[in-house]
Amino acid sequence: MSDTLDSTAAGMQRRSLLKGTAGILATGIAPFVHAQDKIVLRYLGTAVNQDKAIAEKFKADTGIEIQYVAVTTDDVTKRAVTAPNSFDLIDTEFFSLKKIVPTGNLKGIDTKRVKNAGKITSLFTTGTVAGKAVGDQGTAPKKVIFLEGEKSKAFAKAPTQFMSLIPTTYNADTLGIRPDLIKRPISSWAELLNPEFKGKAAILNIPSIGIMDAAMVVESKGIHKYADKGNMTKAEIDLTIKTLIEAKKAGQFRALWKDFNESVNLMASGEVVIQSMWSPAVTAVRSKGIDCVFQPLKEGYRAWASGFGLPATLSGKKLDGAYEFINWFLDGWAGAYLNRQGYYSAVLETAKTKMEAYEWAYWMEGKPAAQDIKSPQGDVIAKAGSVRDGGSYEQRMGGIACWNAVMDENEYMVKKWNEFVAA
């Protein structure tokens, strides 16, 4: 519990003591002394984004060591708020910024020190894809990516020199289905609550994301049209949860899931045929030889994005090292690596130079694979001739309806969500 208290303005000595203890306890890493020249960056994030190959390649290129600290999405936020000295680089979701930035624990990233900052995709800076605006309900990155200054607790309305996070990976989520068990086309979010799939549906039990999926369903069933799905009123939360409770009582859900592996398990075992899902989970089910589709739906996608941030206290060599990592990350190799996993990277043009033409055509342009598509590890994940779910980058990212979000009524929403779980 000690790490819960750090954010309070209690006596300085106790506070720093607690902070230090919390940091050590929380990371599970004993404090150690660095050699004079060697820089080690503690990289806090979720396991999904912490690829060993990226850290190895970076070390080979620059000599700087990355030390991964893997926790869950919610814990990244918790750590950023309560133990801001326990990491040197944070990889967090944009929607968490509403909680982290007001604490002043993040440093604005100086875009003048980031070579490719100007090439970061327009989806983040202006909320457009190929010149067309995409859905900005929820915590769209353009609303939170710029800070008023290096030491700022407020988001800037217009682009500035300082960014809160440098985007790393982002994608657009939809429903995953088992076409072999459903045996008919699925084209709408409403199908999640279709009684046809009674006892064979699942929704994810992370309140802030689950409620968005539920809102997509409610809207597509024509029950209610939200002004902003990512920032509902109390009445809208009530309505959404009521719809979920009715479905749950009727036995619609086989399970709720919280962990990526649970969703893979539910789908692969056939316990569930339609559910909220994440892109790598679909790939994981497929790699078991089971037919699973990340189904594009007519109402659009629920998008998410994560990025790198720097703790406010970072300085000296470590700060230089962190900027070096960010520059290296946007330089293409890492972007190409992530693109090959089915994510999208922040600076597309540098990534393109590190990918084969047929790979780029398959992953980014939605064209049939000219030859077998391999994962970065060398496994064949798509046969020649197959096409990526959701088509090209423009089709998919252009189809964004809303973004993962933290609502103003978050506390009320979590309370109502607990009601749904208990119903």
Partner 1 sequence: MSASAVSSHAASQPLRAVKPWWQAAPFTAVFVVFFLVPLALTLMVSFWNFNEYELIPGFTFKNYAAIFEGCSHLTDNGDICVTLKTYLSTLKFCVLVWAITLLVGFAVAYFLAFHVRSPGVQTALFVLCTVPFWTSNVIRMISWVPLLGRNGLVNQGLMGLGLVDKPLDWLLFSDFSVVLAFVHLYTMFMIVPIFNSMMRIDRSLLEAASDSGASGWQTLWNVVVPLSRTGILIGSIFVITIVMGDFVTIGVMGGQQIASVGKIIQVQTSYLQFPLAAANAVILLAVVLMIIWGLTRLVDIRREL
121 contacts 349 by C-beta, under 8 angstroms: no
Give whichever of 50 and 72 is closer to partner 1, judged by the CB atom.
72
User: Which x/- pattern, by CB under 8 A, does the window 224-263 give for partner 1?
Assistant: ---------------------x--x----xxxxxx---x-
Q: Which of 99, 115, 221, 286 binds partner 1 (CB under 8 A)?
A: 99
Stretch that binds partner 1, among 75-83, 163-171, 276-284, 361-369 (CB under 8 A): 75-83
| Cβ count near 231 (within 10 Å) | 17
Kind plus residue range of the DSSP H or E element containing 307: strand 301-311
Give whichever of 365 and 408 is closer to partner 1, judged by the CB atom.
408
Q: Which of 50, 62, 103, 188 binds partner 1 (CB under 8 A)?
A: 103
91 contacts 49 by C-beta, under 8 angstroms: yes
- Among residue numbers 255 through 314, which ones bind partner 1 (CB under 8 A)? 255-258, 262, 265, 269-271
Give whichever of 236 and 324 is closer to partner 1, judged by the CB atom.
236
In Å, what is the CA distance from 350 to each residue of 115, 375, 418? 12, 19, 44
Contacts with 365 (C-beta within 8 Å, 6 or more apart), sequence order: 392, 393
| Cβ count near 369 (within 10 Å) | 19
Q: Which of 305, 290, 401, 380 is nearest to 346 (CA)?
A: 305
Q: Which of 50, 375, 392, 410 binds partner 1 (CB under 8 A)?
A: 410
Residue reference for tokens 């989970």: 281
Residue type, 241: I
By CB under 8 A, how many residues form the interface with partner 1?
A: 48
- Among residue numbers 336 through 365, which ones bind partner 1 (CB under 8 A)? none
Binding status of residue 2 toward partner 1 by CB under 8 A: yes
Binding status of residue 98 toward partner 1 by CB under 8 A: yes
Binding status of residue 418 toward partner 1 by CB under 8 A: yes
Kind plus residue range of the DSSP H or E element containing 333: helix 333-339
Q: Shortest distance, CB of residue 406 to partner 1, whole angstroms?
A: 7
Binding status of residue 421 toward partner 1 by CB under 8 A: yes
d(CA 351, CA 346) in angstroms, rounded, equals 9
SS3 274: strand
Give whichever of 2 and 283 is closer to partner 1, judged by the CB atom.
2
Binding status of residue 417 toward partner 1 by CB under 8 A: yes
Q: Shortest distance, CB of residue 315 to partner 1, whole angstroms?
A: 23
SS3 276: strand
d(CA 305, CA 390) in angstroms, rounded, equals 18
128 contacts 173 by C-beta, under 8 angstroms: no
- 241 burial via Cβ count (<10 Å: 0-12, 13-18, 19+): buried
d(CA 38, CA 36) in angstroms, rounded, equals 6
User: Which x/- pattern, by CB under 8 A, does the window 175-214 give for partner 1?
Assistant: ------------------------x--x--x-xx------
Q: Shortest distance, CB of residue 71 to partner 1, whole angstroms?
A: 11
Give whichever of 102 and 368 is closer to partner 1, judged by the CB atom.
102
Give whichever of 9 and 30 is closer to partner 1, judged by the CB atom.
9
Binding status of residue 81 toward partner 1 by CB under 8 A: yes
The pair phi, psi for residue 108, each rounded to 5°, is: -65, 135
Give whichever of 1 and 30 is closer to partner 1, judged by the CB atom.
1
Sheet strands side by side (includes 274-276):
253-257, 201-204, 274-276, 175-177, 293-295
Q: Which of 110, 148, 228, 419 binds partner 1 (CB under 8 A)?
A: 419
| Interaction site with partner 1 (CB under 8 A) | 1-2, 4-5, 7-10, 72, 74-75, 77-78, 81, 98-100, 102-103, 199, 202, 205, 207-208, 245, 248, 253-258, 262, 265, 269-271, 406, 410-411, 414-415, 417-419, 421-423
